[in-house]
């Protein structure tokens, strides 16, 4: 269990690093050239340990490296300790330390599993161009991520005096929402139906976060997230609902024709294939396989004519 004192200690380490640690100008011995620009010390070590290729998270690394000047506890906190951090270089990040979710989710939902999910969905989002934060992995149970813009769905809906599903319908027709839906389907994220796990920004773009419980293997073996819980955007773009097929108020969903084009599918396949080593580096070959299988499933229903990703 990481305590506030641990966090403060780490932050002090970064402050010391900031004052004393030179940025290494040369590749770290034995490491890929790309790692050469990392700061020396614990942060650089963490990035080398957790990321095959840190390009794309430089902004996060620079922010964390600068130390922090304030912390504010964010709402939520069932399975993690989430804070908004303002760093000394002016950048804000969200810092999340996972706690064991085994009591509510079943055995196996330890902190590392959740941090792996946050990291890998962040990477998928980055490489696929989906509206989710980029993620810097710092420890077994600990990540930093971008602060996504906009207002949280529950608050945005309340401010307009409408229901969350109306807000979702207002913004669901955007490319951003279609991409977020695709990511949720590929990653078996069933937690987007929670209106505290997405934002809407001033341009009407939706942004997702809180991916700690993705790749959920409902029965312990198959990573088959129930599609009916996949949230409003996945329901809008990928699923068909037939109440007559519901049993005990559950189910009744089937795969619907979706807006992806054959070119989108080919592009997604190429991008996901390139991510295989990143999943394997974390011992998550099964999650990568799940995403590829899901891609095959939605490919069979891809009827789009205007590219969502291409
Ligand atoms: N990347 C982010 N950008 C903006 N706000 C965030 C981000 N991550 C989390 N939050 C805010 O913090 C709250 C709690 O974080 P979340 O990851 O959903 O954890 P949990 O639901 O497990 O407590 C969210 O409801 C949201 O308000
Ligand atoms: Mg949440």
Distance from Cα 310 to the centre of ligand 1, integer Å: 30
Looking at the fold, whether 109 and 129 belong to one and the same domain comes out as: yes
Within 8 A by CB and 6+ apart from 34, the residues are 53, 54, 55
Looking at the fold, whether 160 and 284 belong to one and the same domain comes out as: yes
Range with the lowest mean pLDDT among 34-43, 111-120, 178-187, 262-271? Answer: 34-43
Q: In this predicted structure, what is the pLDDT of residue 119?
A: 98
Rounded Cα distance between 208 and 192, Å, is 8
The residue with greater pLDDT, 295 or 252, is 295
Instruction: Indicate if ligand 1 lies below 6 Å from the C-beta of 137.
Output: no
Within 8 A by CB and 6+ apart from 202, the residues are 149, 150
Give the confidence band of 92 by pLDDT, cuts at 50, 70, 90.
very high
- Tell me if 307 is assigned to some domain: no
Rounded Cα distance between 182 and 171, Å, is 15
What mean pLDDT comes out for the span 79-99?
A: 93
Residue 222 clears pLDDT 60, i.e. is over it: no
Instruction: Indicate if ligand 1 lies below 6 Å from the C-beta of 93.
Output: no
Residue of the CA atom closest to atom 2 of ligand 1: 147
Instruction: Indicate if ligand 1 lies below 6 Å from the C-beta of 82.
Output: yes
Instruction: Indicate if ligand 1 lies below 6 Å from the C-beta of 19.
Output: no
- Tell me if 256 is assigned to some domain: yes
Looking at the fold, whether 67 and 174 belong to one and the same domain comes out as: no
Of 146, 172, 192, the residue that ends a domain is 146
Please give the C-alpha separations between residue 8 and each of 2, 5, 13, 15, 82, in angstroms, as whole numbers. Answer: 11, 5, 9, 10, 14
Neighbours of ion ligand 2 (CB under 5 A): 76, 197, 210
DSSP 3-state of 300: coil
Distance from Cα 246 to the centre of ligand 1, integer Å: 32
Instruction: Indicate if ligand 1 lies below 6 Å from the C-beta of 133.
Output: yes
Rounded Cα distance between 158 and 285, Å, is 41
Looking at the fold, whether 288 and 233 belong to one and the same domain comes out as: yes
CATH of the domain at 116: 3.30.200.20
Q: In this predicted structure, what is the pLDDT of residue 257?
A: 95
- Tell me if 17 is assigned to some domain: yes
Among the bound ligands, the one closest to the CA of 80: 1
| Spacing of C-alpha 187 from chain mean position | 9
Of 113, 146, 179, the residue that ends a domain is 146
Rounded Cα distance between 121 and 278, Å, is 11
Residue 126 clears pLDDT 70, i.e. is over it: yes
Put residue 67 in one of left, alpha, beta given phi > 0 → left and psi -120 to 50 → alpha: left
Q: In this predicted structure, what is the pLDDT of residue 14?
A: 43
Looking at the fold, whether 170 and 246 belong to one and the same domain comes out as: yes
**Burial class of residue 297 (count of CB atoms within 10 Å of its CB; 0-12, 13-18, 19+):** middle
Distance from Cα 43 to the centre of ligand 2, integer Å: 26
Looking at the fold, whether 102 and 46 belong to one and the same domain comes out as: yes
Residue 141 clears pLDDT 50, i.e. is over it: yes
Q: How many domains does the chain have?
A: 2
What mean pLDDT comes out for the span 98-125?
A: 89
Within 8 A by CB and 6+ apart from 255, the residues are 227, 238, 239, 240, 297, 298, 300, 301
Mean pLDDT, the chain, rounded, equals 84
Query: Which residue from 238, 248, 170 is spatially nearest to 206, judged by alpha carbons?
Result: 170
Give the confidence band of 16 by pLDDT, cuts at 50, 70, 90.
very low
- Tell me if 309 is assigned to some domain: no
What mean pLDDT comes out for the span 290-295?
A: 94
Give the confidence band of 250 by pLDDT, cuts at 50, 70, 90.
low
- Domain of 57 in residue numbering reads as 4-146
Q: In this predicted structure, what is the pLDDT of residue 31?
A: 40
Q: Which helix (H) or strand (E) holds 301?
A: none
Distance from Cα 191 to the centre of ligand 2, integer Å: 8
Instruction: Indicate if ligand 1 lies below 6 Å from the C-beta of 209.
Output: yes
Looking at the fold, whether 107 and 176 belong to one and the same domain comes out as: no
Residue of the CA atom closest to atom 12 of ligand 1: 74
Looking at the fold, whether 22 and 133 belong to one and the same domain comes out as: yes
Looking at the fold, whether 100 and 159 belong to one and the same domain comes out as: no
- Tell me if 273 is assigned to some domain: yes
Of 146, 164, 182, the residue that ends a domain is 146
Rounded Cα distance between 46 and 49, Å, is 5
Query: What tens digit of pLDDT does each residue of 164-200 get?
Result: 999 999 999 999 999 999 999 999 888 898 999 999 9
Q: Please say whether the beta carbons of 131 and 181 come within 8 A.
A: no
Looking at the fold, whether 270 and 201 belong to one and the same domain comes out as: yes
- Tell me if 221 is assigned to some domain: yes
- Tell me if 176 is assigned to some domain: yes
Looking at the fold, whether 79 and 163 belong to one and the same domain comes out as: no
Query: What tens digit of pLDDT does each residue of 43-69 get?
Result: 999 999 999 988 889 999 999 999 999
Residue of the CA atom closest to atom 21 of ligand 1: 76
Rounded Cα distance between 297 and 241, Å, is 17
Instruction: Indicate if ligand 1 lies below 6 Å from the C-beta of 197.
Output: yes
Q: Which helix (H) or strand (E) holds 11?
A: helix 4-20
Q: Please say whether the beta carbons of 87 and 72 come within 8 A.
A: no
Looking at the fold, whether 141 and 158 belong to one and the same domain comes out as: no
pTM: 0.86
Distance from Cα 198 to the centre of ligand 2, integer Å: 9
How many residues are given for the chain? 310
Q: Please say whether the beta carbons of 288 and 276 come within 8 A.
A: yes
Rounded Cα distance between 194 and 120, Å, is 20
Instruction: Indicate if ligand 1 lies below 6 Å from the C-beta of 80.
Output: yes
- Tell me if 72 is assigned to some domain: yes
Rounded Cα distance between 44 and 48, Å, is 6
């Amino acid at each position: 269990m990481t305590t506030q004192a641990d966090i403060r200690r780490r932050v002090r380490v970064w402050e010391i690093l900031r004052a004393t640690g030179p940025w290494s100008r040369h590749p770290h011995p034995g490491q890929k050239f790309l790692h050469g620009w990392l700061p020396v010390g614990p942060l650089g070590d963490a990035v080398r340990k957790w990321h095959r290729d840190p390009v794309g998270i430089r902004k996060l690394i620079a922010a964390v490296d600068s130390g922090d000047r304030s912390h504010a506890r964010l709402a939520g906190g069932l399975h993690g300790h989430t804070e908004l951090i303002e760093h000394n270089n002016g950048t804000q990040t969200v810092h999340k330390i996972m706690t064991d979710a085994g009591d509510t989710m079943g055995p196996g939902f330890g902190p590392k599993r959740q941090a792996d999910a946050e990291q890998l969905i962040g990477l998928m989002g980055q490489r696929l161009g989906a509206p989710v934060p980029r993620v810097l992995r710092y420890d077994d149970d600990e990540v930093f991520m971008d602060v996504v813009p906009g207002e949280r769905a529950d608050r945005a809906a309340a401010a307009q005096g409408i229901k969350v599903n109306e807000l979702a319908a207002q913004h669901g027709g955007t490319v951003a929402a279609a991409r977020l839906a695709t990511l949720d389907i590929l990653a078996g994220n069933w937690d987007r139906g929670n209106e505290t796990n997405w934002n809407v920004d001033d341009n009407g773009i939706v942004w997702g976060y809180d991916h700690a419980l993705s790749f959920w293997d409902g029965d312990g073996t198959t990573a088959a997230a129930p599609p009916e819980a996949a949230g409003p955007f996945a329901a809008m773009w990928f699923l068909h609902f037939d109440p007559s097929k519901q049993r005990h108020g559950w189910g009744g969903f089937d795969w619907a024709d979706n807006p992806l084009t054959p070119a989108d599918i080919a592009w997604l396949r190429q991008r996901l294939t390139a991510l295989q080593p990143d999943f394997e580096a974390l011992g998550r070959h099964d999650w990568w396989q799940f995403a590829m299988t899901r891609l095959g499933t939605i490919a069979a229903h891809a009827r789009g004519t205007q590219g969502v990703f291409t």
